[in-house]
């Protein structure tokens, strides 16, 4: 039983040796394990803080770019609206110009047609005068039953035409 009591009994030297071993183990662990782990944790903390800092910088930069782009977009929209307004105005002016030119051309065509009508009217009147003169000469020849000379013929035609114009 003595053998078993050794396992169960409290030995002061064993306790002191165990405590000394524990302290040495803790110091070795602190030197070899805790410092590198703490350094690694500090480095990781620093890296995380830098990442947060970069993320905040990137976010503020993105917000600035977004603001700049929205301003540029609004300016582009305003410019597009201005261009559309100018284009409509130019189109209206061009339309009015085309209508004006068309009216000028129409009035020129109408004037030309009226001159042509007047010319045709004069030609028709002259033709009618000639026909009337021939008819008058024929009638006069039959009435007088004689042949007129050229000068007499022209005189009678002129008198008839003058008289005919006055009757109208």
Burial (CB < 10 A; 0-12, 13-18, 19+), residue 162, is: exposed
Q: Does residue 95 lie in a domain region? A: yes
Domain tally, the chain: 1
How far is 68 from 160, CA to CA, in rounded Å?
97
pLDDT at 5 over 70: no
Give the model's pLDDT for residue 9: 67
What's the average model confidence in pLDDT over 16-29? Answer: 92
Render pLDDT for 47-96 as a digit per residue (tens, 0 to 9).
999 999 999 999 999 999 999 999 999 999 999 999 999 999 999 999 99
Give the model's pLDDT for residue 147: 57
Name the residue among 166, 97, 154, 98 with its Cα closest to residue 130. Answer: 154
- Distance, CA of 52 to chain centre: 44
Q: Does residue 140 lie in a domain region? A: yes
Q: Does residue 2 lie in a domain region? A: no
Let me know: does 148 contact 156? Beta carbons within 8 Å.
yes
Q: Does residue 66 lie in a domain region? A: yes
Q: pLDDT class for 160, splitting at 50, 70, 90?
A: confident
Q: Does residue 45 lie in a domain region? A: yes
Q: Does residue 72 lie in a domain region? A: yes
The boundaries of the domain holding residue 125 are: 11-167
């Amino acid at each position: 039983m003595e053998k078993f009591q050794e396992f169960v009994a409290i030995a002061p030297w064993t306790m002191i040796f165990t405590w000394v071993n524990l302290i040495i183990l803790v110091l070795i662990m602190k030197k070899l394990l805790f410092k590198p782990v703490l350094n690694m944790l500090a480095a990781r903390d620093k890296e995380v803080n830098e990442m947060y800092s970069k993320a905040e910088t990137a976010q503020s930069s993105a917000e600035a770019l977004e603001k700049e782009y929205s301003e540029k977009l609004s300016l582009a929209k305003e410019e597009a609206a201005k261009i559309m307004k100018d284009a409509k105005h130019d189109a209206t002016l061009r339309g009015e110009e085309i209508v004006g030119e068309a009216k000028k051309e129409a009035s020129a065509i109408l004037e030309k047609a009226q001159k042509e009508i007047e010319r045709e009217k004069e030609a028709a009147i002259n033709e009618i005068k000639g026909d009337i003169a021939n008819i008058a000469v024929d009638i006069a020849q039959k009435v007088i039953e004689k042949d007129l000379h050229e000068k007499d013929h022209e005189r009678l035609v002129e008198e008839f035409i003058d008289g005919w114009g006055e009757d109208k």
